[in-house]
Amino acid sequence: MKFFIILILPFFAYASFFREGIVHYKQKNFEAALQAFQKAASQENSKNAYYFLGLFYLKGLGAQQDLDKAEKYLQIASSFGNERANCLLAEVIILKYKDFDKAKKILINGKKSGAYECQQIAKKYKIKL
Residue 15 placed within a domain: yes
* pLDDT over threshold 80, residue 11: no
In a domain, 129, yes or no: no
Domain limits at 113? 2-124
pLDDT band at 28 (very low <50, low <70, confident <90, very high): very high
Number of domains in the chain: 1
The type of residue at 96 is K
Q: Which residues contact 69 (CB under 8 A, 6 or more apart)?
A: 53, 54, 57
Q: For residues 8, 14, 19 and 23, what is the CA-based torsion angle, rounded to 10 degrees?
A: 110
Q: Model confidence over 54-113: pLDDT tens digits? A: 999 999 999 999 999 999 999 999 999 999 999 999 999 999 999 999 999 999 999 999
Return d(Cα 12, Cα 32) in angstroms, integer: 19
Can you give the CATH number for the domain in which 50 is found? 1.25.40.10
Rounded distance between C-alpha atoms, residue 21 and residue 26, angstroms: 9
**CA atoms of 124 and 24, how far apart (whole Å):** 27
Measured CA to CA, the distance from residue 14 to residue 40 in angstroms comes to 8
Nearest Cα neighbor of 13 from 44, 53, 45, 50 is 44
